[in-house]
Structure 1
Amino acid sequence: MRHFTTTIAFSLLISLSGVNRVVAQSNAIPADAQQVTKTVRPDAIRRHMSVLANDSLKGRKPGTRGFAMAADYVVGQFKALGLQPAGENNTFRQNVPLRRWQVNEKNSLLALLPNGKEVPLVYGKQFILNPSPDNPIGDITAPVVFVGYGVTAPELGYDDYTGIDVKGKIVAFLNGAPATFPSNQRAYNSSSKAENAVAHGAIGTIAFSLPADLRSRIETAAPRARQGITRWVGKDGKPKNTFPALKGAASVSDSLARLLFANAPTSFSEAMGQAMKNKPQAFPLNMSVHIKTQTDVVEDIAGFNVVAVLPGSDPALKNEYIVQVAHLDHLGVGKPVKGDSIFNGAHDNASGVAIMLETARLYASLPKAPRRSILFVGVTGEEMGLLGSDYFANNPTVPKDKIVANLTLDMPFFFHPLLDIVPYGAEHSSLTKEVKQAADFLGVAISPDPIPEQTVFMRSDHFSFVRQGIPALFIKSGSQTGNPNLDGTKLNLEWRATIYHTPQDDMNQPFDFNSAAKHAQLQFLVGYLTAQDNQRPTWNKGDFFGTKFGKGNIGQ
């Protein structure tokens, strides 16, 4: 912790330039936009963050007074900029009904049946169960089939379900996806196991990790799992993004996973070896399992997004929208860590909201609004599973087919000079053009993902728009620091290991607000250039996400 703080502070001392030092001129960027870019205010971002991460907001958990205070502050800033309400009923608000479920552990169980006789197991030590919002009581006993990573990716020539029938059975699979997959496809396939299991007819799932993967130990996962899951509820009163066909879903310890293989035709160690060689595999474990899950409704939460618009200036294109998003929520108040129980979420994600507000000010400062309209959305429930953005992307307050692009900002990491960026999503669509133009203008390099194992592309609100076929960007800082003795990737990973999702993510961190301001410049320029283009963004021809979700919006 001390080393982390000291090294970041040193990086600030060697910052190479002020935020307003524009390195290159670009014919792609009109003079008015160039001038507005130079007016960015690092101190304004600091002030916004200080308000949103203040202890008085108690961590901005959805449904609390603290979240409402944060939303009121953002709406006040929108009004001061002259933005118009774009929520429901001519307000700045879009209601997002949320509901939380928990497993009733007393009335739930997982048991092995190696010889037809149940062997009971210990909840929280050997296994945990996922709530099933669609099934108040799920009770299944079925044979278990091992399906490797549980992945079907025909575009990559990989399918763990080849030659195996899992209808009416429970599938057991490894967390993650083959390491040979491209980073973003690896992230997608890692998170779509339940959906794939249902598509193949399974009625239950059991997940476990490779022995060397210590991140998913049951003892570590159990406390958060006991908080339950939250989903948004549709007008029909039913939870969305759930899988009613699954009557039981468990995660199990390494030792229990080995027991599952006791009667298998392939040993546990051999199967793990095949997985590490990225080879598809599937075979029956010759073991049945009994999973019983009682799922209780814990609470309904009156969630909401805040939405504002800067109307476009082009008579036709003003009916199309660039959506800029940052999540307002954080984790609220929890178990004390180092004497502090308020999870302020300064970097996650008061920073993104603050930068969005400064970006909105840049747009509002233009002598003439961009041709397309710019929609600003502060979403709820990101920490609960991208809920506010998913609700908005499914139920936008403007016509869905008129949303042409999304830019999301979430903990962009500004603890050192911003010399390079990782524009997650740019490689999938024509938006790479605008990213390159903006980065060139600001003298910022573009780098590949330095931490593909973190599956960043799946972990913030932009992906809610990707799933609706809308090209999206998620720009984060790269690893260059300007100091050969300071590794930006190591700094990032150290922050994630020591500060992320703890009460120590507060304003007592050595933020580089010049870097934060450069993020605002990037958001503004990329959005502005996209808004000015005659053509709406398109997915690249043959792109995985464009093909899966793009609904015909594919480039030639």
Structure 2
Amino acid sequence: MRLFFFTFFSLLSGLCSTGQLLAQSDAIPVEVQRVSRTARPNAIQAHMRILSADSMKGRKPGTPGFDMAAAYVVSQLKALGMQPAGENNTYRQDVPLRRWQVKEGNSALTLLVNGREQPLTYGRQFIFSPTPDHPVSDVTAPVVFVGFGVSAPELGYDDYKDLDVKGKIVLYLNGAPSTFPSNQRAYYTSSKAENAALHGAVGTLAFNLPTDLRNRIETSAPRARQGIYRWLDKQGKPQRTFPAIKGAASLSDSAARLIFAGASTTFSDVTNSAIKNKPQPFPLNISVRMHVQTDMVEDVAGYNIVAMLPGSDPVLKNEYVVCAAHIDHLGVGRPVKGDSIYNGAHDNASGVAINLEMARLFASLPKAPRRSIVFVGVTGEEMGLLGSDYFASNPTVPKEKIVANLALDMPFFFHPLLDIVPYGAEHSSLSQEVRQAAAFLGVKISPDPIPEQTVFMRSDHFSFVRQGIPALFIKSGSETGNPNLDGTKLNLDWRATIYHTPQDDMNQPFDFNSAAKHAQLQFLIAYLTAQSDQRPTWNQGDFFGTKFGMGNVVR
């Protein structure tokens, strides 16, 4: 009898699952299903091999290597019949970029304690961030510790509560409370300078928890010394800067301990409270003098590539689903294991290659979807999401008509694609299209396995979120189908050893069948979004929809 009921309920469960899968498949027309199955692993591999070749010299914006890669992308899109959608009926959108760098020899940070001065050593105890709005800045002010430097009233957390920091320098820990949802944690981790400026601070100091080894001074100083890039508006003014902040420094662990030496609360107590996610602002018995000289180093003639498949509906063709991937990488740099070309095969020749294959799938349809599909190859992602931020802020199609963005950046295909992490899906109605496409392909949907990496803020989709446009950023999950292969460990190991090194080349164990499945997934989600009667909307009361949304309501 037990065997009978076990068999019966197993069969019933299977029938229910099959019924759900059939229901999801019904939303996808047969001809679209057929086209999706033609995704070509070999074509993705070929695109990646060309884009990450040594001849491209790492595709840094403003170099011949980037121009070669961009020309290749344009040639592929033109061959597929995609129309120019850039400026002046071309495939190009100019993105003016500028780089600033701190002049170390003319810059200094000094601790002022009880009338005594204690200068710190640049590169060992601190590094400055450039201040593009202030070629030379001087600020001397008392220091106030503000915990993580986060104000999140919707989460019941505020490090600035009942604290006056006007005209002062704030000291905060990198990161955000671990109790925050993954994407909110990512947002608050990266918006601290803006929050400090809003509260009236004139300078910032940042340091890490002793357990956080990712941003040590000795490892971050070489890249920090390369300076920062920003895009310029039509008046030549740099964007995404905070003029109220006259000095911003990152401190080593030893320098942070020096600042707390005379405080009423010890360094250990502060870090232990932070680990327990307790707000703990208080003034410190110390002042800091910062002198920062920031030099404008170079202007870079950056540009995005923009192409379009016009929609088939007389009305909805004037709305757009934007599919983006960044073309650029880090160029030629410090040699590692005898190699100085940062090829960027996974980051992000892979995303561009998958988007090109997705464009081919759209071109293969007997009829285009109702809305138009815009393909954007962006520049300057490695410089701070600059190309996507420029496009999302100054799109070549009407901004209010962009209904959604799908961004693709190193989706991680080193094992079969059995589950996905769709960053952003939980914030908008795009979750419906994600579920339909995933069910059709037989892949599961999983939560973020590495929330401490703050992935949600680290790629081009967030430029669209910032403009109030629902967006998705899909990566492979952790399931590998091999009990001896831990997908999360594989991901973290890759980030620790290969990410942003010359070893990110084609000599890696890529699973191109998995890459083709990513192309299918992106294609189906974009198609369903472009075909829907209603445009995507933010979920009612959603954090990002409330903060950035353009008045969309839940459907």
Match of 2:220 in 1: 221
Cα displacement string for residues 431-485 of structure 1 (whole angstroms, at most 9, x for unaligned residues): 0000000000011111111111111111100000000000000010011111111
* Distance in structure 1 (CA, Å) of the matches to 2:31 and 2:24: 13
In structure 1, C-alpha distance between the alignment counterparts of 2:377 and 2:255, rounded to whole Å: 42
CA contact (8 A) 2:24 2:436 kept: no
Structure 1 position 312 matched with structure 2 position 278: no
The CA deviation at 1:554 is 3.0
Q: What is the aligned partner in structure 1 of residue 41 from structure 2?
A: 42
Q: Distance in 1 between matches of 2:500 and 2:44?
A: 21
1:411 aligns with 2:410: yes
Aligned to 1:167: 166
Aligned to 1:446: 445
Aligned letter for 1:128? I
- Counterpart of 1:530 in structure 2 is 529
Structure 2 gaps, min length 5: 1-20
Give the secondary structure class of the aligned counterpart of 1:515: helix
- Quote the residue 1:394 is aligned against: 393
Contact 2:173–2:206 (CA<8 Å) still a contact in 1? yes
Corresponding position of 1:260: 259
* Structure 1 unaligned blocks of 5 or more: 1-21
* Cα distance, 1:67 vs structure 2: 0.1
Give CA deviations for 1:59-108 in whole Å, capped at 9, x if unaligned.
00000000000000000001000000000000000000000000000110
Deviations 1:168-196 (A, max 9, x none): 00000000001111111011000000000
8 Å CA contact 1:24–1:441 kept in 2: the answer is no
Distance 1:53 1:23, change over 3 A: farther
Amino acid at match of 2:531: Q
- State whether residues 113 and 290 of structure 1, in contact with CA within 8 Å, keep that contact through their aligned partners in structure 2: yes
| Aligned residue in 1 for 2:247 | 248
Aligned mates of 1:384, 1:95 — CA distance in 2: 16
How does 1:86-125 map onto structure 2 within 5 Å?
86-125=85-124
> What is the Cα-based RMSD across aligned positions, in Å?
1.1
Q: Which residue of 1 aligns with 2:335?
A: 336
Using the aligned pairs only, state the percent identity: 78
Q: Secondary structure at the match of 2:363?
A: helix
Q: When the two structures are superposed, what TM-score results if normalisation uses the length of structure 2?
A: 0.95
Q: Distance in 2 between matches of 1:27 and 1:293?
A: 62
Structure-2 separation of matches of 1:430 and 1:96:
31
Q: Which residue identity is paired with 1:188?
A: Y
Q: Secondary structure at the match of 1:258?
A: helix
Question: Distance between the aligned counterparts of 2:418 and 2:489, measured in 1?
Answer: 16
- Which residue identity does 2:414 align to in structure 1? F
2:98 maps to amino acid: R
Aligned pair 1:378/2:377, yes or no?
Answer: yes
**Which residue is equivalent to 1:198?**
197
In structure 2, C-alpha distance between the alignment counterparts of 1:364 and 1:336, rounded to whole Å: 41
Q: Tell me the TM-score normalised to structure 1 length.
A: 0.95
State the shift of 1:420 in Å: 0.7
User: What SS class does the counterpart of residue 59 from structure 1 fall into?
Assistant: helix
Correspondence for 2:275:
276
Matches of 1:259 and 1:405, distance apart in 2: 48
Aligned counterpart, 2:426:
427
Q: Secondary structure at the match of 2:59?
A: coil
Are 2:57 and 2:343, in contact at CA under 8 Å, matched by a contact in 1?
yes
In 2, Cα distance between the equivalents of 1:109 and 1:78?
50
Q: Where does 1:471-486 land on structure 2 (aligned, <5 Å)?
A: 471-486=470-485
Q: Does 1:181 align with 2:180?
A: yes
- Give how far 1:262 is off: 2.2
Residue 95 of structure 1 aligns to a residue whose secondary structure is strand
Whether 1:356 and 2:358 are equivalent positions in the alignment is no
Contact 2:210-2:253 at 8 Å conserved across structures:
yes
Paired AA for residue 212 in structure 1: T
Q: CA deviation at 1:129?
A: 0.3
- Report the Cα offset of residue 494 of structure 1: 1.0
In structure 2, the residue matched to 1:134 is 133
CA distance in structure 1 between the aligned counterparts of 2:261 and 2:354, rounded to whole angstroms? 54
Distance 2:115 2:148 in 1: 27
- Aligned partner of residue 206 in structure 1, secondary structure: strand
The answer for the alignment partner of 1:235 in structure 2 is: 234
Secondary structure class of the residue paired with 1:469 = coil
Letter in 1 for 2:237: K
CA deviation profile, 1:103-150 (whole Å, cap 9, x unmatched): 000110000000223211100000000000000001000000000000
C-alpha distance in 1 between matches for 2:215 and 2:30? 51
**Could you tell me how far 1:493 is from its partner in structure 2?**
0.9
Aligned amino acid, residue 549 of structure 1: F
C-alpha distance after superposition, 1:398-427 (max 9, x if no partner): 000000000000000111111111111000
The residue matched to 2:324 in structure 1 has which SS? strand
Provide the secondary structure at the position in 1 that maps to 2:215. Answer: coil
Between 1:71-80 and 1:213-222, the stretch displaced more is 213-222
Structure 2 counterparts to residues 445-524 of structure 1, below 5 A: 445-524=444-523
- Aligned 8 A contact 1:424 1:475 in 2: yes
What's the secondary structure of 1:299's corresponding residue? strand
C-alpha deviations, 1:259-299, integer Å up to 9, x for none? 11122222222222211111111111021000010000110
Are residues 1:157 and 2:152 paired?
A: no
SS at match of 1:530: helix
Counterpart residue type for residue 83 of structure 1: M
- 1:326 maps to what in 2? 325
SS of 1:140's partner is strand
> What is the DSSP-based 3-state SS (H/G/I as helix, E as strand, rest coil) of the residue aligned with 2:356?
helix
2: CA distance between counterparts of 1:170 and 1:34?
Answer: 58
Structure 2 residue matching 1:58: 3-state secondary structure: helix
Aligned to 1:12: none
Distance 1:68 1:178 in 2: 42
1-structure distance, mates of 2:210, 2:506? 38
Tell me the CA shift for residue 23 of structure 1.
Answer: 9.8
SS of 1:128's equivalent? Answer: strand
Secondary structure of residue in 1 paired with 2:111: strand
Cα distance in 2 for residues equivalent to 1:517 and 1:554: 34
Instruction: State the shift of 1:216 in Å.
Output: 1.7
SS in 2 for 1:360: helix
The answer on whether the counterparts of 1:23 and 1:443 sit within 8 Å (CA) in structure 2 is no
**Deviation (angstroms), 1:212:** 1.6
Which sits farther off after the overlay, 324-333 or 488-497?
488-497
| Number of equivalenced pairs | 535
Moved more, 253-262 or 337-346: 253-262
Q: Residues of 2 paired with 1:277 and 1:40: CA distance? A: 48
Relative to structure 1, the CA distance from residue 174 to residue 25 in structure 2 (aligned partners, 3 Å threshold; closer, same or farther) is closer
Which letter does structure 1 place at the counterpart of 2:215? S
Q: Specify the code of the residue in structure 2 equivalent to 1:502.
A: T
Q: Residues 472-521 of structure 1, C-alpha deviation per residue, up to 9 Å, x if partnerless? A: 00010011111111111111111111111111111111111100000000
Q: Give the whole-Å Cα distance in 2 for the aligned partners of 1:142 and 1:397.
A: 45
Does structure 1 conserve the Cα–Cα contact (< 8 Å) formed by 2:144 and 2:284?
yes
Deviates more, 1:321-330 or 1:33-42: 33-42
Aligned to 1:56: 55
